[in-house]
Structure formats: structure tokens, C-alpha cells
A and B are shown apart, each in its own frame.
Chain A
Amino acid sequence: MVQLTINGKQIEAPEGTTVLRAAELAGIHIPTLCNHKELTPYGGCRLCIVEVEGMRVPMASCTLPVGKGMVIRTETSEIRKSREFILSMLFSERNHFCPFCQVSGGDCELQNAAYHEEMTHWPIQPGWNNYKVDTTHPYFVLDNNRCILCRRCTRACGELVGNFTLSVAERGAASMIVADTDVPLGESTCIKCGTCVQVCPTGALIDRTSAYQAHDDQLDEIKSVCIGCSVGCSIKIMVRDNRIIRIEGDWESQVNQGLLCEHGRYDPITESRRRITTPQIRKNGKLEPVSWEEALSTVADKIQSLAASKHGIAAIASTRLTAETLAVFKDLFVDKLHGTSVTSIEEGAPTASVTRFAENHEAFEGKLDILRNADTVLCIGANINRSHMVAGFMFKRNLSKGTRLINIDPESSELDYLANIALKTKPGSDLALIKGLQAIIVREGLGRSPLKLTDAGKLIKEAVSASGISHEELLQTAQLLAHSISPVILFGKGVTAQRDEKLIEEIYHLAVLIGAVDDERHGLLSIKGESNSLVATLLGMDTAFTLDGQQAVYIALGDDYVSKSLMERLSKSPYLVAQTCYESRLTEQADVILPVTIWAEQEGHYINLDGRTQAAQKAIDPPEGVRDNVSVLNEIATRAKMTIQPDWHKAILARKSSVALN
């Protein structure tokens, strides 16, 4: 710890801390605009200048490391005058019209800083130059007139997201925030995560959907969890008058540290499907609105009558539903009704093989943190740039700092452009390739731990012929992996959907061989699927969905989508009950529709891909007539005279998890 004095107050700060951060820890406010706690200090706006005894000129505290015995003053008249001058220059540089700016009145850090200095005006009028307003992006607007060039957005885009779309073109007063090579944002490489909007201190980047809807202090903030995928990012749902205005990443989160992707931030806002708010039953071929009582009794009678028969009922649930819902669903349809083919709509494709492998290798997977610290990432069959994007950010942002990426995928993806080695394998050749990699590492003597192989030469040859990858490429890949200090293997649906436990086992052996997995490191992770994939598989709902003569199918879809292939199978069912939120091709064919709450209208638990149990909160009230997912299942059970065991915590312990639960 280093001792220093700020404004006469003796404080202590860890060595290497900046003066700005040290002051913040001591509860002393130093105004700043370009600084952001998740971004590397930049020293761009100079608003955080302080007086340091013995130094000739004021120093920017955001880039000044604490020194032993430093004496610092932040509120002298000289410093205040300088701050006011800096702010005057910022206001005069471009066009800041507070009366009609979205963020004016509390949400603008620039305006707040000026109020803090008690500025009633700025002395120099702007040059009345027109700066570009880019409205080509589907979700946000870039208004260069309001930009102060703090570069939070460009740093967030590169340092946090690893996308490097935004940058600064030109020099000096001509400097401008641009996308790529100064192309319209909507045509750029932007992946629409919206992190730049979240960090912008002024109204230069504003959200199309939430702009002019409310000031921050008019919004209720509900901390919850994103259920867009199994990463399980922490979110803040901003609500006004029972309407979701905006979704923000939670900077305090251990999982996503403030970041979100397009799906998490914008999908719920742009939802355009038509909501169903009345139970319906098909009568004479036509869906008709009925009371809840009639709908529930009809379903209860139907399933009760089928309970005894051998091919009675099949049931399928979305993995976006809460753990509570899935546990009740499983208890009702498996334990009480003895349904055949009771599974999830993912049918275990992202999880079944890892969970089966976990029977003998419990918790063999690591945590998301490993991606942040990996020096080499071997990515197999996972287009993480499209699905589970935030997990991708965790290593994409390090690629420019030397982290290497090896991508193995028969399908082309953006990852190929980022990868040091991109192996376009023939489909179905993963097992041969992984064994070939093991063999070449063993033969070259590069392994970190012993692995017994019968005929390395033969395995290498097989890998080359099966995958279409040359011996040279295989050797390069093996060398890159073996020379890494903290390698990580990440695999996705491309691997797990093969439902081959042997493939998981060989990937595990490869991980041990290259030192990704040992006593201390757990550098192996599968990205799984939807938000509650893991819970579904632990409840045993991870088998393929096949209908062989069942007389009814119950589908608990919630706010999820039905795939075309599932719909084809469902349409063969003579009787279809749909517990869902929106009109879809499913509801067109359903015999009974039970309208339920969407994700933000209910509370419950989710277990993310690295085993974290997280609580989702209710943020808004459901429309009238709509019921909660769990209560609908409970009501049916009650009417069918069955008692449901609602303890999901206990229920998921029936199987061993591939990742440690916490």
C-alpha cells in the first residue's frame, strides 16, 4: 500500500493504482469524462486534472499512478478554473444543444460535469459546422455533433468486445468517430452489442428505441439474468409504466462484467410476435376462446385418461423456462404420468453427450473465467461469434494482445478470419482429427502428461485422410497447442450434437495431454445451448424427441420458438396442447392453447453454462388473462389429482453435472 494525501486527507491505495481510482476509493469525487472503470485509462478529456505538489503543471489523475507521499489537491481555485476552461472548450468544439437532447437533465455526464462546476454558460460559441449524424444502424444513432472524442466507445469496442469496429479517423479538430474505414454504421462490421451506447457519456450514441422515453431517474431498475443463451449475463432491466424501455449490462457482474450481445440487449425490445392472452380450445376445427377453468380441466381430463396407457403422452419443454418450471414439468410428465419421450426442445443436442461423460468424470469442465486468461483457445464446432457471443468477447478481445485461436469447424464462420489456424474439416471427422492431434503431440514428444496410444502413425494418417487436413497443418496445430502455457479447449454444438460420448472423451484426453486440464487448471468448456440447457439435461430431459403413436403431446414453449423440424414432428400428433406466449405455427395447429408469462413477467432460476445458479427477477406485470408457467402446470396436476414435488434443487441432483454447480 502507498500512503498519499488528497485534499488534506491521508489515504492509502494499492501500488499501481491511479490517483483517480485512489480518490474514488477514498470517497473523493474527481470529475472525469473519458475514464470508465472497465476501460484502460486514456487521459483524453483532461477533466480529471489535479494539483500535485512539486509538479510544474496540473496532471490528469486517471493516468497518474499513486506515489509515496504524494500531496494532491483537487478543488483549488486554479484547478476549478482549469476544469471550467476544459469544459468550455468541449462545449464550443461541436454543437451541444441541451434543450432538445435525449440525455439532458441528469443523464449526460458532460452536462453534469458542467453543473458540478456551476457553469451557467460557455464563453465561446460553436463554429456552426455540421457534423455527420449516422442513422443507418438498426438499434442506435451516432450523432457526431454531440461527440467529445473521449473514445470510450472505440475502447469498449476493441478492449471489451474485441470487435474493433469503431475507431477515430483524422487528427486534431477533424477527428471523427468512424466505423471501419468510415462506412455507415449499418453497413459496418458492427455486431450490434450496444456496448458503445452504454458507455457513451453524452448523447452522441443514443438508443433508437429508448431515446426520449424516460430519464434514468424515472426508470425502475431490476437486476436480473439474460436468458438469451446459456452464458447467463447479468442484466439491468429498465422499466417505466410496466414497459421495458431498455436493457443494460451490469458492470458489477462476475459473468459478463457489463457486456451484452445483440440478443440480450435488443431482442426483447424488438419482439414483434403477437401475444396470446386468452386460453383457447379447438372446437369443430376452429380455435375458440374459453375460460381458464375449461381449458385446464380439458387438459387435465385428457392427460389423466392417457396416464395409464402405454403410449399415452409425450411432452416437450423449452430450455428457456425456469428451473422451477422444468422440474415441475418433469415431475408431472415423467414421474406422475409416465410419459414416453419427455424431453426439451433442444433434445439434448448441446448437453447430452457431456452429461453422459460426466457420469465418470464429474465436473470435468471449467469456468468461463478460463477464457479471459487463455493464451491459446482451441474452438471446436462452436460459432461463438454468433451464439454465446459474450463468451466469445472474453477471448476475442485478447487476440490482438497475442492470444491465439485455432478454429476447427466444417462450417465457415467469422472466427476463421480471427483464427491463427482455421481447419476446415470434413463433417463427421472430428473424432479422427482429435485422435490424430493427440498422436502427433505424443509422437513429437510435446505432451504435458503421458497418453498411451497404440499406433500413432496410423492415427495421424487416419486423421489426415478423414478430415482433409494436411499433415503439415496438423503438426502446426499440435505445436501451437503444445507450446501454450494456458490453453483452453472450447467446444459447441458442432461436437455435442454428434451425441458421441467417445468424442467428448478424446477431447478430454487431448485437454489433459496439452495441459489444458490438470490438477489446477480446468481449461475445457462446452458452451451448451439455451439458458437452462444444463438444468434440462440434469433432469434427464435430453433425449431425441420421437413420436411413436402417442395420443397427445404437451409442449411447454413459453416465449421460445419452435423449429421447423420439431413442428413437422408435432403436427403428426393427434392432440396438441401448447403452453405458450405468442402466436406461431405451433398455435395454428394446437388443440389447446394455454397463454403464459414471458421471461420478464416471472421469476425463477437458471443455471448457466459454467454451473452458476442465477435468479431471474420479475420486471413487469403480465397482461390480464395470462398465467405463470409453473402455476399452469400445477393447476393441471391438481385437476388430474396428482401431487407435484416442486423441489428443483433436489431434482437436478439426480445426475452428475459436467461442470461444478455453485
Chain B
Amino acid sequence: MNKPKIATDWMCGCAGCHMSLLDMDERILKIVELADLRSSPITDLKEPDKSGVDVGVLEGGINNSANEEVAHKMRQRAKILVALGDCAVFGGVPAMRNFCGVEVALQRAYVEAESNEPGSQIPNDPELAAMTKARAIQEVVQVDYNVPGCPPDADVIFHVLSELAQGRKPELKDELLHWH
């Protein structure tokens, strides 16, 4: 099988970009015709092949050590890395916590928020990933194509994947370019 391999994963996002990917509907079959959809968070295989893939797609920004691992792994294994959606491209909504810092955000979320039980604490299991500033992917690893949008439309995702699968550079402009 000579079809290019595609792998996706998500990090600090809302899964909305993957929902938008599914919104391609029957056009997913067209992508499957053109490419070998390998791993993704919504299929059985979760990690990109060790032997490498042609296109790696990452949704979400990077806000902890686990995200960093995912990003590095995908960068190492993918020839072309695509940052999908505003969180991946700009940091997006999670990046707003950068204004106050991690500590204040955690305190607010786990202790002060009205919905918390009295005496709630910030989770401190050593197994948990270490929180960092919320960042765009390009701040951590090199990105080949930034695909903005919150989320990018199915049309945009279809355009990007089908172009890449056919060995072309996806061009985003006019109707296909929006950041919101």
C-alpha cells in the first residue's frame, strides 16, 4: 500500500476540531481512498506508527508536560505536521489563563468556583502532568501548516487533508481562511 499515512491526536483543545473533521461526512471515504488513516483519538489505534506517518494532525494547544510529549512524538514521527484549529495555531481559549498564571487558574477552578464542594483541593497526584503556560504548537515544535478556525470548517479540513494526501501544498485563502 503506497497511500500516504495520516495520524491525528488532540491536546489542550475541546475535541471540536475532530468533530468538525467528522462533519466531512461522506467525504471521509474520499480521504480514505486517498490516504491511510492510521491513528486518532477517536479510532482504535491511538498513537502514530513508530515507523512514521506522512501527515500528523494535532488539535489543541500545549498546556502541560503530557501535551509536550504528544507534540514531540507526533513531530518526530510525522513528515508534515498540521496544527488544526485556533488552540493549535494561536493558543485559543485556554491561553486566556496566561493572563493570570497557572496557580490562580487552578485555585479558581478547584477551590473558589461556586460549584465546588467545601474543602475542595487542587489535585496533586504526582502522576498528573505538570501544568505549563498554554502555548500554540509552533512555540514547542515546528509546524508545517497552520489551519486556523474555531473550529476549521469540514470544507477546510477536507481541503487540507485531500491536498496533502495528493502531495500538494494546501493553500488557505478566501472562503477557506477564517480564524473564528
Q: B91 touches which one: A101, A105, A125, A130 (CB < 8 A)?
A: A125
A98-B86 contact given A120-B146, A120-B147, A121-B146, CB 8 Å threshold = yes
Q: Is B180 an interface residue (CB 8 A)?
A: yes
| B89 and A99 form a contact (CB under 8 A) | no
> Which residues does chain B contribute within 8 Å of A128, judged by CB atoms?
95, 98-99, 133
Q: Is A543 an interface residue (CB 8 A)?
A: no
Most buried by A among B93, B139, B171, B173: B173
Q: A125 touches which one: B83, B136, B148 (CB < 8 A)?
A: B136
| A99 and B93 form a contact (CB under 8 A) | yes
| B147 and A105 form a contact (CB under 8 A) | no
Interface residues of B in 127-180 (CB under 8 A from A): 133, 135-136, 138-139, 145-148, 150, 171-174, 177-180
| A118 and B173 form a contact (CB under 8 A) | yes
Could you mark each residue 52-89 of chain B with 1 if its beta carbon is under 8 Å from any beta carbon of chain A, else 0? 00000000000000000000000000000001001001
> Which residues does chain B contribute within 8 Å of A111, judged by CB atoms?
179
Could you mark each residue 552-575 of chain A with 1 if its beta carbon is under 8 Å from any beta carbon of chain B, else 0? 000000000000000000000000
Q: Is B10 an interface residue (CB 8 A)?
A: no
Q: Is B96 an interface residue (CB 8 A)?
A: yes
A123-B138 contact given A97-B96, A104-B180, CB 8 Å threshold = yes
A131 to chain B, nearest CB (A): 10
Report how far A114 CA is from B177 CA in the complex, Å: 10
> Which residues does chain A contribute within 8 Å of B173, judged by CB atoms?
115, 118
User: Which residue of chain B is the closest to A130 with respect to CB atoms?
Assistant: B99
> Which residues does chain A contribute within 8 Å of B91, judged by CB atoms?
125
| A118 and B93 form a contact (CB under 8 A) | no
Most buried by A among B95, B139, B146, B179: B179
Report how far A122 CA is from B147 CA in the complex, Å: 12
Q: Is B92 an interface residue (CB 8 A)?
A: yes
Most buried by B among A95, A97, A100, A105: A97
A76 to chain B, nearest CB (A): 19
A121-B180 contact given A128-B98, A128-B99, A130-B99, CB 8 Å threshold = no
> Which residues does chain B contribute within 8 Å of A121, judged by CB atoms?
83, 89-90, 136, 138, 146, 148
Report how far A99 CA is from B98 CA in the complex, Å: 17
Report how far A612 CA is from B11 CA in the complex, Å: 64
> Which residues does chain B contribute within 8 Å of A114, judged by CB atoms?
179
B interface residues, tally (CB under 8 Å): 29
> Which residues does chain A contribute within 8 Å of B150, judged by CB atoms?
98-99
| B86 and A120 form a contact (CB under 8 A) | no
Interface range on chain A (Cβ under 8 Å from partner): 10 to 19
A105-B139 contact given A128-B99, A130-B99, CB 8 Å threshold = no
Could you mark each residue 518-561 of chain A with 1 if its beta carbon is under 8 Å from any beta carbon of chain B, else 0? 00000000000000000000000000000000000000000000
Could you mark each residue 258-275 of chain A with 1 if its beta carbon is under 8 Å from any beta carbon of chain B, else 0? 000000000000000000
> Which residues does chain B contribute within 8 Å of A115, judged by CB atoms?
173-174, 177-178
Report how far A100 CA is from B92 CA in the complex, Å: 10
User: Which residue of chain B is the closest to A117 with respect to CB atoms?
Assistant: B173
> Which residues does chain B contribute within 8 Å of A100, judged by CB atoms?
93
| A120 and B148 form a contact (CB under 8 A) | yes
Report how far A99 CA is from B151 CA in the complex, Å: 9
> Which residues does chain A contribute within 8 Å of B133, judged by CB atoms?
128
User: Which residue of chain A is the closest to B86 with respect to CB atoms?
Assistant: A99
A211 to chain B, nearest CB (A): 15
A56 to chain B, nearest CB (A): 32
A120-B145 contact given A99-B179, A104-B179, CB 8 Å threshold = yes
Report how far A181 CA is from B86 CA in the complex, Å: 38
> Which residues does chain B contribute within 8 Å of A123, judged by CB atoms?
138
> Which residues does chain A contribute within 8 Å of B171, judged by CB atoms?
118
Report how far A99 CA is from B92 CA in the complex, Å: 8
Report how far A226 CA is from B138 CA in the complex, Å: 51
Report how far A122 CA is from B171 CA in the complex, Å: 16
Report how far A104 CA is from B89 CA in the complex, Å: 17
B158 to chain A, nearest CB (A): 16
Most buried by B among A97, A105, A120, A128: A120
> What is B's interface to A at a CB cutoff of 8 Å?
83, 86, 89-93, 95-96, 98-99, 133, 135-136, 138-139, 145-148, 150, 171-174, 177-180
A-B contact pairs, 27 of them (CB 8 A): A97-B92, A97-B93, A97-B96, A98-B86, A98-B150, A99-B86, A99-B92, A99-B179, A99-B180, A101-B180, A115-B173, A115-B177, A118-B171, A118-B177, A120-B145, A120-B146, A120-B147, A120-B177, A121-B83, A121-B90, A121-B138, A121-B146, A121-B148, A123-B138, A125-B135, A128-B99, A130-B99
* Inter-chain pairs besides A98-B86, A123-B138, A130-B99, 12 sampled, C-beta below 8 Å: A97-B93, A98-B90, A118-B173, A120-B145, A120-B147, A121-B83, A122-B90, A125-B90, A125-B91, A125-B135, A125-B136, A128-B95
> What is A's interface to B at a CB cutoff of 8 Å?
95, 97-101, 104-105, 111, 114-115, 118, 120-123, 125, 128, 130
